[in-house]
Structures are given as C-alpha cells and as structure tokens.
C-alpha cells in the first residue's frame, strides 16, 4: 500500500502545509492526552501529536528565522523561490526577527554551558537519536503556550503572502474535538464545497487547509 501526503501546487503551499499541521497537532493534543491511558494505542497517538507539533515547529523555525536553513531549503530571505517574486527585506524582516526572538526564548543551557536554541533542542530530543534524550531529558514542552506566541507571526505571514480568499470554506468536524474544523485550501485559495456554493458564504474558524488531491482536480 502506497501512502501519500497532501499534494502541493507551489513552494508556498509547503510553508502553508507546515503551518496547518502545526495548528492541527496542537489543537488535537488535549483530547489525545485525556485518552492516553485508555488503551495501548492511545499513548503512542499522544506521543505522535507532540512529535508532530515539534517537527513542524522545527521546520517553520528553520524557514522563518533563516538561522538553520541549508542552501537547498526554502528560506524566508529567498522569496523568489517560495513566493515567486522578490521582496524588500523590510517586507519580512519584522516577522523574521520575531521568529528569531521566539527561537531564542525557548533555549536551554546544558552542563557544558552551551546555549541551545529551540530549533536545535528539537533536533537533539526528537530529530536525531542522541544521548541527551535520556541523559538530559526535558520534562515537557509548553505546546499551547508556544502556539499562542506563534499565532500573531503565522497570521501576519498568511495575511501578507497568501492570495486573498473567499470566506466560503469546506468544513468537517475533527473526531478529536467537536469544536475543531478544517478548511481545504491550495495555493492560497480557499475551496468551497458544493453545499456552500448553494447556501452562500459561511464564516468559520479554521485550523487546517489540508490539500486533498481528489477534491482539487
């Protein structure tokens, strides 16, 4: 069986996918934590929620801060690649600086006295198998707090660099929470379901714009 993640129409979609998955992991985490002792499968699902948030956070920090990106990665300071047009530095530098401040605020200093920022902490404790995962285990990650601090940065990024969208969205309820909804969007355009086309615009909160290929053909 071949598994395939949501398709992307552009490099910008890659960044939006990271944002969507970050929000999804955070928004479903509380329900998974509440259920983690109910079955053998529930605790690994909770772990996956934590790890998913951290992996997508690490990817976004690499992109937004430009501190840890490789030459082959998408970088905030190379808009010709991810946006398809040049930007003056002043058009994104405030968001870059805020992302760098966030990255630094979640740093840790280990016994050797070396300060490790948030991006590299995730690498040490999740991205790679390292001695620190046992020897200097972090008690926990303040995921809800981290997301709240990131929300203004991510919202402003979407406001500046995505195509204006219709308020009509395709929505379904997440089984993890009766209050969670999802929006399908591709290349900065929100897609409306057939029902919404008939009923008119619907304004809803949305944490995800999953890019479903079969709905976007």
Listed residues 162, 181, 209: the one ending a domain? 162
Give just the sign of the alpha carbon dihedral 72, 73, 74, 76. negative
Distance CA 50, CA 44 (A): 10
Give me the domain span that covers residue 212.
164-217
Mean predicted lDDT score pLDDT of the chain: 79
Looking at the fold, whether 15 and 105 belong to one and the same domain comes out as: yes
Looking at the fold, whether 151 and 181 belong to one and the same domain comes out as: no
Looking at the fold, whether 18 and 90 belong to one and the same domain comes out as: yes
Helices 42-65 and 11-27: crossing angle, nearest 10°?
A: 140
Looking at the fold, whether 115 and 194 belong to one and the same domain comes out as: no
- In a domain, residue 74? The reply is yes
Residue 186, pLDDT above cutoff 70:
no
Looking at the fold, whether 130 and 191 belong to one and the same domain comes out as: no
Q: How confident is the model at residue 137 (pLDDT cuts 50, 70, 90)?
A: low
- In a domain, residue 3? The reply is no
Looking at the fold, whether 48 and 151 belong to one and the same domain comes out as: yes
Looking at the fold, whether 133 and 202 belong to one and the same domain comes out as: no
Distance CA 119, CA 57 (A): 8
- In a domain, residue 217? The reply is yes
Listed residues 162, 182, 203: the one ending a domain? 162
- pLDDT tens digits along 152-185: 999 999 999 997 654 334 454 555 554 555 554 5
- In a domain, residue 2? The reply is no
Res 143: pLDDT: 95
* Mean local confidence (pLDDT), 190-214: 37
Looking at the fold, whether 140 and 181 belong to one and the same domain comes out as: no
- In a domain, residue 1? The reply is no
Per the structure, the count of domains in the chain is 2
Model confidence pTM above 0.85:
no
Res 167: pLDDT: 39
Which of 17-26, 164-173, 195-204 is the least confident region? Answer: 195-204
Res 98: pLDDT: 98
Q: How many whole angstroms from its chain centre is CA 3?
A: 21
Residue 82, pLDDT above cutoff 50:
yes
What are 93's two structure tokens? 């530098």
Residue 194, pLDDT above cutoff 60:
no
Looking at the fold, whether 138 and 208 belong to one and the same domain comes out as: no
Q: How far is CA 187 from CA 78, 83, 106, 167, 202, in A?
A: 18, 10, 32, 16, 20
Res 88: pLDDT: 97
Res 102: pLDDT: 97
- In a domain, residue 5? The reply is no
Looking at the fold, whether 172 and 103 belong to one and the same domain comes out as: no
Looking at the fold, whether 109 and 45 belong to one and the same domain comes out as: yes
Residue 92, pLDDT above cutoff 50:
yes
CB crowding 30-65: b at 16 or more within 10 Å, else e: ebbeeebeeeeeeeebbeebbbbbbbbbbbbbbbbb
- In a domain, residue 137? The reply is yes
- In a domain, residue 4? The reply is no
Looking at the fold, whether 44 and 123 belong to one and the same domain comes out as: yes
Res 164: pLDDT: 60
Higher pLDDT, 111 or 108: 108
- pLDDT tens digits along 30-56: 999 999 888 888 999 999 999 999 999
């Amino acid at each position: 069986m071949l598994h395939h993640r949501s398709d992307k129409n552009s490099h910008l979609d890659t960044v939006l996918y990271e944002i969507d998955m970050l929000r999804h992991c955070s928004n479903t985490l509380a329900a998974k934590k509440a259920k983690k002792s109910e079955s053998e499968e529930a605790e690994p699902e909770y772990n996956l929620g934590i790890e998913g948030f951290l992996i997508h956070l690490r990817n976004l920090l690499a992109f937004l801060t430009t501190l840890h990106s490789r030459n082959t990665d998408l970088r905030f300071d190379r808009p010709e690649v991810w946006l398809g047009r040049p930007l003056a530095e002043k058009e994104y530098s405030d968001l870059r600086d805020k992302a760098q401040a966030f990255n630094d605020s979640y740093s840790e200093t280990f016994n050797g006295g070396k300060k490790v920022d948030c991006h590299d902490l995730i690498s040490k404790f999740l991205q790679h198998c390292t001695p620190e995962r046992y020897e200097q285990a972090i008690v926990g990650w303040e995921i809800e707090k981290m997301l709240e601090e990131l929300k203004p940065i991510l919202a402003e990024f979407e406001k500046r660099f995505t195509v204006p969208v219709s308020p009509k969205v395709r929505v379904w309820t997440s089984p993890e929470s009766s209050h969670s909804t999802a929006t399908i969007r591709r290349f900065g355009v929100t897609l409306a379901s057939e029902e919404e086309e008939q009923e008119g615009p619907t304004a809803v909160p949305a944490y995800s714009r999953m890019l479903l290929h079969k709905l976007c053909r």
